[in-house]
Structure 1
Amino acid sequence: MKKIIIVFLLLAGSFAVEAQELVWETNVNKAMEVSKKTKKPLLLFFTGSDWCGWCIRLQKEVLKTPEFAKWAKENVVLVELDFPRRSEQTAEIKKQNSELQQAFGIQGFPTVVIAKATKKDGKVNFEGLGSIGYVAGGPAAWLAVTNDMLKKK
């Protein structure tokens, strides 16, 4: 009987973890399609995932929490724009990320930009709603700032 209960708890736990998994797009064009369908703005996460200490801390303290997952599913389309030093990326992703870094004037990492994107005559136009970096205080403090940005949409 104990074995059955343990197996049940393990299965239930794995479903709970799976339910919290978020989809982070790396292709901004694909993310824009999702944004258009869902009418949600983009959350562009500019990060140095394998070298930036503040990026790793933001991930751990905010972006990988259940509170953030719930908020993100309801409010935004997630886009990770990574600038790793040790991980390989395709030339297309490097070019895309670099162009977006320049377009938004990103000076440091982590930087999160909330933006609306529209495409007209083959040209993409981004309307920035605001940006944020690391904020101490966990998900509640970070989400308070991003919720203010979303009020602009």
Structure 2
Amino acid sequence: MKKIVVAALLFVASYAAEAQELVWETNVNKAMEVSNKTKKPMLLFFTGSDWCGWCIRLQKEVLKTPEFAAWAKDNVVLVELDYPRRTPQTPEIKTQNNELQQAFSIQGFPTIYFANGTNKDGKVNFEGLGHTGYVAGGPTAWLAVADGILKKK
């Protein structure tokens, strides 16, 4: 019995450690540095985290799953661009997110853009690779769409 409890605790601890390793940047300049260093595109997640039902559903069904975590570590740099109604944000983050919403012509949430970015002489340029949003069918269906976008690059 003791061995089963120890094994279960080790399994839970390894699962929790894996889930914690997934890092969502909120500063796009920092994310761009990581993206350029690792040669991975950015996944820009435009979300209304505390009010958008489809955003919350996408998080629950896809973005917080072990399948997505494993895929993301190998393929993208994660960036969360949040537009909350109740959660406070710094003025810098609000300004950055509003500018990016305009730059990518975001009309609704959730929207996920895959992009590469460069910062030359203080000017940021993005190369959009494609975009998606909520896809029914869980992580397998969503990752198939994402892989299709990334293969085009």
TM-score by length of 2: 0.94
- Structure 2 counterparts to residues 1-153 of structure 1, below 5 A: 2-3=1-2, 5-21=4-20, 22-153=22-153
5+ residue gaps, structure 1, are none
Question: What CA distance in whole angstroms lies between the structure 1 residues aligned with 2:143 and 2:70?
Answer: 11
Instruction: Report which stretch shifted further, 96-105 or 13-22.
Output: 13-22
Cα displacement string for residues 118-149 of structure 1 (whole angstroms, at most 9, x for unaligned residues): 12122110010111011101111111111111
Let me know the Cα RMSD of the aligned residues.
1.2
**Aligned-partner residue type, residue 136 of structure 2:** A
Instruction: Report which stretch shifted further, 35-44 or 5-14.
Output: 5-14
Question: What CA distance in whole angstroms lies between the structure 2 residues aligned with 1:12 and 1:139?
Answer: 22
Displacement after TM superposition at 1:7 (Å): 4.1
Question: What CA distance in whole angstroms lies between the structure 1 residues aligned with 2:72 and 2:81?
Answer: 17
5+ residue gaps, structure 2, are none
Displacement after TM superposition at 1:15 (Å): 2.0
Cα displacement string for residues 100-131 of structure 1 (whole angstroms, at most 9, x for unaligned residues): 00000000000000001012122110010111
Q: Which portions of structure 1, spanning 4 or more consecutive aligned residues, are displaced by more than 6 angstroms?
A: none
- Could you say what secondary structure the match of 1:117 adopts? strand
Question: What CA distance in whole angstroms lies between the structure 1 residues aligned with 2:65 and 2:136?
Answer: 14
Question: What CA distance in whole angstroms lies between the structure 2 residues aligned with 1:99 and 1:152?
Answer: 26
Question: What CA distance in whole angstroms lies between the structure 2 residues aligned with 1:4 and 1:61?
Answer: 33
Question: What CA distance in whole angstroms lies between the structure 2 residues aligned with 1:12 and 1:54?
Answer: 31
Instruction: Report which stretch shifted further, 4-13 or 64-73.
Output: 4-13
Question: What CA distance in whole angstroms lies between the structure 1 residues aligned with 2:6 and 2:90?
Answer: 41
Question: What CA distance in whole angstroms lies between the structure 2 residues aligned with 1:25 and 1:41?
Answer: 13
**Aligned-partner residue type, residue 103 of structure 2:** A
Question: What CA distance in whole angstroms lies between the structure 2 residues aligned with 1:119 and 1:27?
Answer: 14
Calculate percent identity across the aligned residue pairs.
74
Question: What CA distance in whole angstroms lies between the structure 2 residues aligned with 1:17 and 1:126?
Answer: 34
Displacement after TM superposition at 1:4 (Å): 5.8
